[in-house]
Structure 1
């Protein structure tokens, strides 16, 4: 360790000095205190690795669904009956009844109900199987020992 010249012990002159009973200024011995310092560093060394991958899987599965259909049945019902005035369409259950009027010549002019058109809505349901593509995600976690080791799947320890 380097020391300044003024801090170096002058042991040479002390060695040459002859011992005597009286303290003399020329027999003076100088001592130097030395302090050491320690620097600690941390080196990172790879001892293993972990990698995480996301795997997306698509699978087509049959799914049961209920399909609803509506059919409309139209029936023309002849009436040919005289009426006093017009009236609006009416609903009877699932059937909408729409009156159709006409003027016909008779000895006198008279309003006649010619026919009614009955429109019925029929609803039906049926079970059907349709195929849909379902997606799911899965994480794959793998570890390896060292920098060149083999990747191994991590097992759950919980």
Structure 2
């Protein structure tokens, strides 16, 4: 069949498509490696400090040796300036019975603070990550 001519007078050969290629793109999962995670727990000792509060008592014996007058009431326990005073009595035989203030116990309280070291066991956990071949 004769070729067609265009306005310029040139001839255009006929084109026949024989093969056409087409590209397609997809995603496929591939295992390239594995990891193994292990954990380890360690125990370690540590010393912790803490303050302990308490009360310390000191007893001082103060000799008085004073004879009470007849009819005088024996003094009771009292507190003077943070010191508790407890009277101690004794009966002695004179021609008549009298009460003698033998001694007084002076009790003083002191607040105390003491720092103590207490060992304690603590735990810490760590993780290790290791790569494994895809074959195993």
**What's the TM-score, normalizing by structure 2?**
0.56
Q: 1:140 aligns with which of 110, 126, 130?
A: 126
Q: 1:124 aligns with which of 97, 110, 114?
A: 110
- Larger strand share, 1 or 2: 2
Q: Over aligned residues, Cα RMSD in angstroms?
A: 2.9
Q: Deviations over 1:31-83 (max 9, x none)?
A: xxxxxxxxxxxxxxx93322222222211244343353111111121112343
Runs of 5+ unmatched residues, structure 1: 1-45, 148-158
- Larger helix share, 1 or 2: 1
**What's the TM-score, normalizing by structure 1?**
0.49
Identify if the C-alpha distance between structure 1 residues 97 and 78 changes in structure 2 by more than 3 Å, giving closer, same or farther.
Answer: same
Say how many residue pairs are matched: 97
Q: 1:92 aligns with which of 65, 75, 78?
A: 78
Larger RCO of the pair (alpha carbons < 8 Å, separation 6+): 2
Contact 1:64 1:127 in 2 (8 A): yes
